[in-house]
Structure 1
Amino acid sequence: MTGLPRRGLLAAALLPRPALAQAWPDRPVRIVVPNPAGGASDILSRLLARELQPRLGQPFPVENRSGSNGIIGLDAVAKARPPGSALIVATVTQYLCNPFVYRSIPYDLDADFVPVGLSWEYYNIAVVPAALVPARRLPDFVAWARARPAGLAYGSNGIATSPHLLGALFMDRHRLDGVHVPFRGAAETAAALLRGDVQFTITDIASLLPYIQKGDLAPLAVTGPERWPGLPGVPTMAEVGMPELQATIWTGFCGTAGMAPDAVARLVAAMDEALADPALQDRIRTAGALPLRPDPAALSRRFVEERPRWGEMVRLAGARLD
C-alpha cells in the first residue's frame, strides 16, 4: 500500500466515521512514540500522558517503537484494534516526509489515521563549532564556506529528518559544496561538530542549547517566525535574508481510523485542558518547545498545506529510498 495520499487529510477528517459502541475505551490507551526513549518527543509525551490520566480516568502508557524513520511506530497504531486503543505522536518527518522518502509504506496516512491535534512545536537552529569556524552571522558563514577549497560537511539526525532537508536546502540555495553526514541523533551531531568532523548543522534548539550556553557552539539563526525566547540575541532566518529556511517542526497526535468521534472530542478537550496548564507549559518550554492548542482540523490543514514543501525538500536532498 502506498503512503502517498488518496485524498486530503482535511477532507478525510470531516467525513463521518463509524462510531464505536462506547465513546471512550475503558482500557489503557497506548501512546506510541516512534523515537528512542530519552529524546524530547519521548519526554514531552510522557509529561502529557501523566496529565491525561486523571482527566480521562485511565492510564496512558507510553511505548517507544522506533525504527525505519518512524514507520514501525505508525504502522503499529494503524493496525491497533480496537480503534481508540492507541495513539501515535509524531513529527513532520514521519507524517510529511516519509511518504516521499519511501516507495511504499505499510499504511495510508489518510485512510488509516484520524487526526486528534497538535501538541507542541519547536524551532531548529543553525550552529557552527565556535573554535573552528570564525563566522558569527549566517551570511558570513556562507562567505567562509565559499572560500573553503575542500568544501564542507553538514550533520543531521538522519536521512530525511528536518536537519538533513533544511541543510540540503541551505546548500542548494547558496550553491555551496556540502557533504551530508547523517548521525543517530543531535547528540552525535554535536560531538561531530566539536571534533571538526562536520562544520555546520541546522537541528533542534533543545539538543544544542547546553553547548551554545557553554560557548562551544556558535548560534547563527533560528528557523522560526520569531526569535526563540531563550536566545533573544539570535536572529531568525528571515532577518538574515533567508526566509526560505523558515520552518517550525511540530508534533501531533493521531488515532487509528474508526476511533469514535465522541472519543476524539473527549481526548481533544483533555489535551487542551492539560496543555493550557501553566506548569505543563513551563515544562514544555524548558524542553525547548512551544505548547500548541490541539485541534483536529488544524492538524489536518498542516498535513495538506505543508506536504508539498517537504516533498520538494526530499527531492532536492536526494533523500528518496527505494
Structure 2
Amino acid sequence: MINLRSLDLNLLVTLDVLLAEHNVTRAAERLHFSQPSISVHLAKLRDIFGDPLLLPGPRGMRPTARAEALREPLRQALEALSLAVSPAAAFDPARATNTWRVAATDYGESTILLPAMAGLRRAAPGTRLAVLEMAPPHIARQAEQGIIDLAFHTSDGAPPGMRHRLLFKERYVLAGRASHPRLKRKPTLKQFCELEHVIVSPDGGGFSGVTDKVLAEAGMTRRVALSVPHFLFVISALTGTDLVAMLPERLVRDNPALRVVAPPVDIPGYEMVMLWHERSQRDPAHQWLRDHIAGSL
C-alpha cells in the first residue's frame, strides 16, 4: 500500500507525461525540467510502485503492464485535481440551475424577496428559491451546515460572527384603513393613545412592544386590542376595522387601502441586514445572489 501522505505529487505529474511521451528528453522539455531530473523522478517512481514502469525500446521507452494499468486512472485523477484547485468559474445566471434557500419572516418576504423576484426570474430562469421560516436562534447553525444560504434579520438581533450586508434602514409609521375617520390628519399624542392598536408579537400573545416602552418613559399607555404573530395579518385587520398599527414604512407604502401618517411619538427604527456564513463568502453564485437582492431594493 502506497502512503499518499509521503507521495510527491510532482512525481505523478512526471509519470503522466512519461506515459504520454515514452521519451525522457521530450518529457523534460514539456515539464521544463532537465533530463537528469526526469531520470531521478523515474527512479523514485520505480521504487514507489515496485515496477520498472518504462523500459528501453527501439523507439523510445515502452510502458510495462503496470504502467499501462496506471495510465487512464492517473490521467483522470490529475484532471480532477486540476479542476479542484483551479479558480472558480465565473457564474452565468442565464445557465444556472442552483437551488437557493433563504430564511425570512413575512416582513422580509414582502420587503426584500418580492422586489427581487421578477429580476431573479428574468436573469436566472433555471434557478429555484426556497423560503424557509425564520428561526433566529438557529440562523448561525443553519448557515454553517448549508441548510440556508441567506437570512434576513435586524442588525441588532443578528448572530455574531456571520457575514452581513446592510440592505436598508427602516422607520415606523402609523397606519389605518384609507377612510379611517381619526387619521385624516396626524393625531396628537393623546389621540394616538386613545386609538385601538394592533401589535405584532413574533413570540405570540404579547401586548407590548417598542412603542409601549417609549410611551411608558413619557408616563403614557396606549390601547392594544389585538396581538398577532405576523405582519401580513395586520394589513387585513386594518382594512376591515378601525384598528390602527405602528408598522414598518416599507410594508405599507403605496398601499391604496391604507392611510399612513407620521406618528406623534418618535419610535426608533432599525436596520435590515442580509446574513450568510463565511463558507459562502467567495462563491461566485452566492456573490451574484447577494448583489442581485441588494440591487433590487
Instruction: Give the TM-score of the pair, scaled to structure 1.
Output: 0.47
What is the letter of the counterpart of residue 183 of structure 1?
Answer: V
Q: Write out per-residue CA displacement over residues 236-260 of structure 1, whole angstroms, 9 at most, x where no aligned residue.
A: x6xx6x4x4242542x332223445
Q: Write out per-residue CA displacement over residues 232-282 of structure 1, whole angstroms, 9 at most, x where no aligned residue.
A: xxxxx6xx6x4x4242542x332223445x448x85577557855xxx4xx
Q: Write out per-residue CA displacement over residues 178-212 of structure 1, whole angstroms, 9 at most, x where no aligned residue.
A: 3363324333213323444x73212133543465x
| Contact kept? 2:112, 2:293, Cα under 8 Å | no
User: Structure 1: which 5+ runs fail to align?
Assistant: 1-19, 100-108, 222-236, 281-290, 292-322
Aligned to 1:40: 111
What is the letter of the counterpart of residue 143 of structure 1?
Answer: K
Output the CA distance in 1 between the equivalents of 2:105 and 2:183: 33
With over 3 angstroms needed to count, the CA separation of the structure-2 counterparts of 1:137 and 1:47, relative to structure 1, is: same
Give the secondary structure class of the aligned counterpart of 1:118.
strand
RMSD over aligned Cα atoms: 4.4
The answer as to 2:152 corresponding to 1:90 is: yes
- 5 Å-filtered alignment, 1:269-308, equals 271-272=290-291, 280=296, 291=297
- 5 Å-filtered alignment, 1:230-269, equals 242=265, 244-250=266-272, 252-259=273-280, 262-263=282-283, 268=287
| Contact kept? 2:199, 2:224, Cα under 8 Å | no
Q: Write out per-residue CA displacement over residues 63-99 of structure 1, whole angstroms, 9 at most, x where no aligned residue.
A: 111154x556654223218xxxx5213021xx534x7
Choose from 261, 276, 294 the match for 1:220: 261
The answer as to 2:143 corresponding to 1:143 is: no
Rg larger in structure: 2
With over 3 angstroms needed to count, the CA separation of the structure-2 counterparts of 1:208 and 1:272, relative to structure 1, is: closer
- 5 Å-filtered alignment, 1:14-163, equals 24=88, 28=98, 30-35=100-105, 39-47=110-118, 49-50=120-121, 53=124, 61-68=128-135, 70-71=136-137, 75-80=141-146, 86-92=148-154, 96-97=156-157, 109-111=159-161, 113-115=162-164, 117-129=165-177, 131-138=179-186, 140-145=187-192, 148=194, 152-159=195-202
User: Structure 2: which 5+ runs fail to align?
Assistant: 1-83, 92-96
Output the CA distance in 2 between the equivalents of 1:118 and 1:210: 23
Q: Tell me the number of residue pairs that the alignment of Structure 1 and Structure 2 aligns.
A: 204
Give the secondary structure class of the aligned counterpart of 1:245.
coil
Output the CA distance in 1 between the equivalents of 2:202 and 2:163: 27
What is the letter of the counterpart of residue 96 of structure 1?
Answer: D
Output the CA distance in 2 between the equivalents of 1:153 and 1:63: 37
Output the CA distance in 2 between the equivalents of 1:188 and 1:254: 26
Q: Select the structure with the greater relative contact order (CA < 8 A; seq sep ≥ 6).
A: 1
| Contact kept? 2:170, 2:271, Cα under 8 Å | yes
Give the secondary structure class of the aligned counterpart of 1:190.
helix
Give the secondary structure class of the aligned counterpart of 1:65.
strand
| Contact kept? 2:103, 2:150, Cα under 8 Å | yes
What is the letter of the counterpart of residue 156 of structure 2?
Answer: L
With over 3 angstroms needed to count, the CA separation of the structure-2 counterparts of 1:270 and 1:193, relative to structure 1, is: closer
What is the letter of the counterpart of residue 202 of structure 2?
Answer: I
Give the secondary structure class of the aligned counterpart of 2:98.
coil
Give the secondary structure class of the aligned counterpart of 2:201.
coil
Output the CA distance in 2 between the equivalents of 1:65 and 1:42: 12
Q: Write out per-residue CA displacement over residues 271-307 of structure 1, whole angstroms, 9 at most, x where no aligned residue.
A: 557855xxx4xxxxxxxxxx3xxxxxxxxxxxxxxxx
What is the CA distance between 1:50 and its match in structure 2?
Answer: 4.7
| Contact kept? 1:33, 1:42, Cα under 8 Å | no
What is the letter of the counterpart of residue 267 of structure 2?
Answer: L
With over 3 angstroms needed to count, the CA separation of the structure-2 counterparts of 1:160 and 1:154, relative to structure 1, is: farther
What is the CA distance between 1:32 and its match in structure 2?
Answer: 0.9
| Contact kept? 1:34, 1:73, Cα under 8 Å | no
Output the CA distance in 2 between the equivalents of 1:248 and 1:187: 19
What is the letter of the counterpart of residue 112 of structure 2?
Answer: S
Output the CA distance in 1 between the equivalents of 2:163 and 2:216: 36
What is the CA distance between 1:153 and its match in structure 2?
Answer: 3.8
How high is the sequence identity, in percent, across the aligned residues? 6
Output the CA distance in 2 between the equivalents of 1:167 and 1:143: 14
The answer as to 2:248 corresponding to 1:204 is: yes
Aligned to 2:238: 193
Instruction: Give the TM-score of the pair, scaled to structure 2.
Output: 0.50
